[in-house]
Amino acid sequence: MHLALHGSCDPAFAPVRAAFASNFERFPELGAAVCVAVRGRVAVDLWAGFRDAARTAPWGGDTIVNVFSATKGAVALCAHALAERGALDLDAPVAASWPEFAAAGKGRVRVAQLLDHSAGLPALRAEPPEGALHDWQAMTSALAAEGPFWEPGTRHGYHAVTFGFLVGEVIRRASGRRVGAFLREAVAGPLGLDLHIGVGAEHDARIAEVPPMIAGPGGGIGGAFAASLRDPTSLTSLAFTRPRDLVSPGFINTARARRAEIPALNGHANARALARMYGALANGGALADGGARVLSPRAIEAALAERSRGLDAVLLAESRFSLGFMLPSALRPFGRGPRTFGHPGAGGALGFADPDAGLGFGYTPNQPLASGEGGDPRWPALIDAVYACL
């Protein structure tokens, strides 16, 4: 069946178009979009395939999809924007603005430790009530009462789900607005991004369905992480399966999940939004086509500096983080420059900035492929093609 590619591509970036088309032949791709911004200008904006598993609804230029943990990069940007405004001190104790958080010996935990995954709160020990994942107060209250799994600051472990509630509540306390509203005000609005945390019913008709995850080449996830995930008592399992709503089949496609603000994993966007967001960060904080500067060059440098490195207590592999952004590693390689930063998502979504190349990259598929060390198998050809064209 002939693949219909849509969108635009600068002739100088024709290899990216070819790599994108090739991914539909090499992998069980359903629908996807890829976008590349260079020096603040969009050079590639392509989409293809279908937004439903039945292959009846073509992917459109306005299609958005759940980008899972790629949402974390947008949340981190919100925190840095607040810090630059002087409304949030990243080095201050969390409890300075969220007094309840001081419970269980957390009075000295700093905001920066929430961002770099060293706070020791990657999970909840007790299973919260059904529906807690969609209940902001239930999740933030449970986390405020929880004790750290390790002494904060002594190691790091991926806060897969809790990151969004922890950093999101700090954003709410500092700005007076929920993270979804602040994202619209400080990031999505100024940059013209189709990016949402908590998406309204008016967008449902253009949201791509996310089918169940299937194995990628090589069989998908394995090793210590997979073994630990099978143990319901392990920290890895607690971090990825609690609350239980997380493992409810198809929950990510429900109206309830779309409306809720689950800032670590339910942002909805397209590749254009991710590429423009990171394109601004790779271009001194603003896009070349106008609009406000969302972050100063100095703040960007602070945001991308490495803060955590080594064996991840949750992922059980080597990982690297800055203040809220993931940095490339053997576990999740992306970008090629030494100052590259961004965030991938479990479904295969990826957004990153390479300031040295002036590059912002976004990729948003809707068919999740299980992938272990090395990241999503659909990334390398796209990324290699992008860098070959610079």
List 69, 308, 319, 329, catalytic entry: 69
Residue with tokens 């897969």: 160
* Beta bridge mates, 320: 309
The label of the residue with tokens 């479904």 reads 347
**Taking the CB of residue 126, how many other CB atoms lie within 10 A of it?**
9
Question: Maximum CA pair distance of the chain?
Answer: 60
Do residues 241 and 232 make contact, with C-beta atoms less than 8 angstroms apart? yes
Least Cα distance to 136 among 286, 326, 266 occurs for: 266
Contact 247, 169 (CB under 8 A): no
**Closest C-alpha to 177, from 88, 103, 100:** 88
Cα–Cα distance, 115 to 194 (Å, whole number): 24
Identify the DSSP state of 186.
Answer: I
**What count of other Cβ atoms lies within 10 Å of the Cβ of residue 287?**
24
For the chain, the C-alpha Rg in angstroms (whole number) is: 19
CA angle 153, 156, 161 (to 5 degrees): 115
Would the CA dihedral through 351, 324, 269, 188 be positive or negative? negative
Per the CB < 8 A criterion, the answer to whether 299 and 285 are in contact is yes
Query: Is there a contact between 180 and 197 (Cβ–Cβ < 8 Å)?
Result: yes
69: annotated active-site residue: yes
Check: CB of residue 344 under 8 Å from CB of residue 327: no
The gap from C-alpha 383 to its chain's centroid, in whole angstroms, comes to 18
Encoded amino acid at 303, one letter? A
φ, ψ of residue 350 in degrees (nearest 5): -150, 135
Torsion, Cα 116 120 125 130, to 10 degrees, reads -20
Residue 56: φ, ψ to 5°: -110, -20
Indicate which residues carry an active-site annotation: 69
